[in-house]
Amino acid sequence: MLDVVVNGLWGPRGEAVPAIAERWSGTLTALKDIDGPTFDVWHEAVDDRPSDPVLETSAPVLAEYIERKNTGPDLDVVGYTTSLWAHNPAAPRVSMAIHPGSTSRYALNYVSLAFLSREVDETAEVIRRAPEYLRILAEHWQIDAGQVYNRPQFRAVGKRFDLDNSDPRCGRAVFLSAGRAALAPDDLPGTYVRTAHGGLVIDLTRGGTESPDIDTVIEANARLRAAGALTPLPEPFDRDRF
């Protein structure tokens, strides 16, 4: 069974809904440019309907959707939590969840793509290109740290280093913001791709041509942690990036 996640985290950053919607719309457009069959026809996440309505992915429509899904006081503190899903023929089901706009010093902001399938496995092109999706998330959301992982990798790394779920870590690929990238060793067994805003994606799959085992992923984590590149943001959080 396929269960792969691409995600990114960052600290307090107040943002208005229109700005969030612009980031989200740009992300969805960039994903569709890479893989139209997978990243097309996005549905609202609605619990009480048998067929969730399709949502246009323009910034104005997404802004209305974010506001509709988030009500109550103090949204500028707690942030906005919203998601969409797509499930197209011959493609895995993909969900995109966002929680941006929080200025809380005790809660991280995040964006994630989750891929699930019983028919498609990790050798599929859409999964082999996951480090590209990580770069897109990094550039559109200006994240602090992010990764691509499957569940066994996530659990193994968390257990080995006694990590909380929100702690930065390296999966089959890792994104490091500029401050983290400056500390990263330059000889890990993967390809290095520089991103906008001075960030770095280290891809242990080498463009989807290799499948790193758990020992390789754990060793990469050990070296990045020893260098300080995966040090968590100081809590209470006083910045959005390392």
Question: What is the structure's pLDDT at 68?
Answer: 95
Alpha-carbon distances, residue 199 vs 43, 78, 174 (angstroms): 31, 27, 11
Distance CA 41, CA 170 (A): 31
pLDDT of residue 92: 94
The whole-number pLDDT of residue 46 equals: 77
Dist. CA 127–CA 147, nearest whole Å: 13
DSSP state of 52: P
The residue ranges of the chain whose pLDDT is under 70 are 47-51
- Cross-sheet strand order for the sheet of 145-150: 43-44, 82-86, 93-99, 109-117, 2-10, 145-150, 173-176, 200-203, 191-194
pLDDT the model gives residue 48:
56
What are the residue ranges spanned by the domains of the chain? Answer: 2-227
Are the C-beta atoms of 9 and 143 separated by less than 8 Å? Answer: yes
Burial class (CB in 10 A: 0-12, 13-18, 19+), 231: middle
- Full DSSP string of 114-128: EEEESS--TTSHHHH
pTM tops 0.85, yes or no:
yes
**pLDDT of res. 27:** 98
